[in-house]
Structure 1
Amino acid sequence: MVNLSLYTVRAMVIMDGDGNRLVAKYYSRGPHAQNYKTVKEQKKFESELFSKTRKSSGEVILYDSQTVLFKYVNDAYFYLIGDPEENELLLSAVLNGLVDAISILLKHSIDKRSLLDNLDMVVLALDEAVDDGIALETDPNVIASNVSKRGAETTDITLSGLNEQVFMDMYTQAKERLNIALLK
């Protein structure tokens, strides 16, 4: 009997062309909690994974008893690590949706520099696609839209608060000027 679970993703890692970590999220919930609990173990796993996949032409491998999907875009490697029994098509949909959403958010300019410059949006996109190991969204347009909305809401709230403060300052200054003019 197959043990069904919502926890489909063990980790998501983005590395540059030299195998250095740019972003990594390891999830430790679910029936098959990941084995890499310390940063040292994670980095060792990532360097071995990079060595194994940097010259590979495929997109899916079984590595260290885990299903690993990867995608190379310009000078960045995107990895999605799942359970060995997990459906590769589901994992592929999550990875492709995430990469396409990041491409939309970065205006189709995915490289190490743009990923680091827009790290906040990249991490938000990761969180929109996968939450604590559960695949939430695969549509890149929805992921990008949700990330964009978060940024827009924050900006709008700040600007509306700023506008109210400006109006209050203008009102106070006008009131003081009127009082001074009346007292003369």
Structure 2
Amino acid sequence: MSLLTASMPPLLPKVDAILVLDGEGNRLAGKYYGDFMKAASPTDANGSTDNATATQSAEQLRQSFERQLQSKIGGIAARPDAAEVVTVLGKTAVFCGGSAPGQGGGSVRVVHVGPAGESELVLAHLAEGMYDALSQLMGGSTDRNMILDNLELVFLLIDEHCDGGIILETDGHKLASSVLLRDEQEATRAEEQAQSKGGKGGIASGPFGGMGGDMTIAQALRQAREQILSNLNQN
């Protein structure tokens, strides 16, 4: 192995943006990374940076990009295992999901925007993995309303999938499992904080309970869910 090869960083897939769009191209969730779609920070007469104006300009740029993206992908339905590719402003955008004309516009699209030189096949693999995880988290549905009702899981999914533009995980099942585990941990942490501030705040174990003592509403709901799943498996 040459010294040059040994000093090179590992080859990691990288993206400029990950977006979850509804059938009309509206952004339901997503993140932009690096300098992509960021406006230069304007300055006033004293040379001070106007952060509010910069933020507004950046959002306007992103909305403009998303409108052009929607003009390319509107009406195209991409299978979960066969992502479609378009070019927008010189960037490669790969997406899964969507609805064909006449089939309604309920299904969302998962879009990965790649930097110049990134392989279309790599981007397709990334989009397909995240779409698979999203479908699993939503119980097999990628309907707009389902996404809106579970936005916290969608943002957790993006974070588990990508960090600062660097892809961390692509396997749909592993991503979904990581999101559910993290969501459970955050719910438990919030529950513990609530208990420490306001006492137990518990309720007596009711029809779902077989546990002695008090338990919180979150614990009761969790136990009820586990019992329902157990009954379904038995049937």
Equivalenced residues, count: 161
1:87-98 alignment runs, 5 A limit: 87-98=119-130
- Asked if the contact 2:24/2:74 (under 8 Å) is kept, the reply is no
Q: Percent identity?
A: 32
Name the stretch that deviates more: 56-65 or 87-96.
56-65
The verdict on how the C-alpha distance between 1:138 and 1:7 changes in structure 2, with shifts beyond 3 A counting, is: closer
* Pairing partner for 1:21 from 11, 21, 27: 27
- State the 1:47 CA deviation: 0.6
Amino acid at match of 1:101: A
- State the 1:94 CA deviation: 1.3
User: Which TM-score applies when normalising by structure 1?
Assistant: 0.77
Q: Report SS of the residue matched to 2:16.
A: strand
* Pairing partner for 2:17 from 11, 25, 37: 11
Name the stretch that deviates more: 53-62 or 14-23.
53-62
CA distance in 2, matches of 1:155, 1:45: 35
- Tell me the residue number matched to 2:150: 118
* Pairing partner for 2:186 from 154, 157, 164: 154
Name structure 2 gaps, 5 residues minimum: 1-7, 40-57, 79-83, 99-105, 203-212, 214-235
> Whose helix proportion is higher, 1 or 2?
1
Larger radius of gyration, structure 1 or 2?
1
- Asked if the contact 1:62/1:84 (under 8 Å) is kept, the reply is no
> Whose strand proportion is higher, 1 or 2?
1
Could you give the per-residue CA deviations for residues 62-119 of structure 1, whole angstroms, max 9, x where no partner exists? 2211111012245212211001210222211211111111111110111110111100
1:46 aligns with 2:71: no
- Tell me the residue number matched to 1:179: none
Amino acid at match of 1:45: F
CA distance in 1, matches of 2:147, 2:14: 25
Higher relative contact order (CA 8 A, sep 6+): 1
Q: Report SS of the residue matched to 2:75.
A: coil
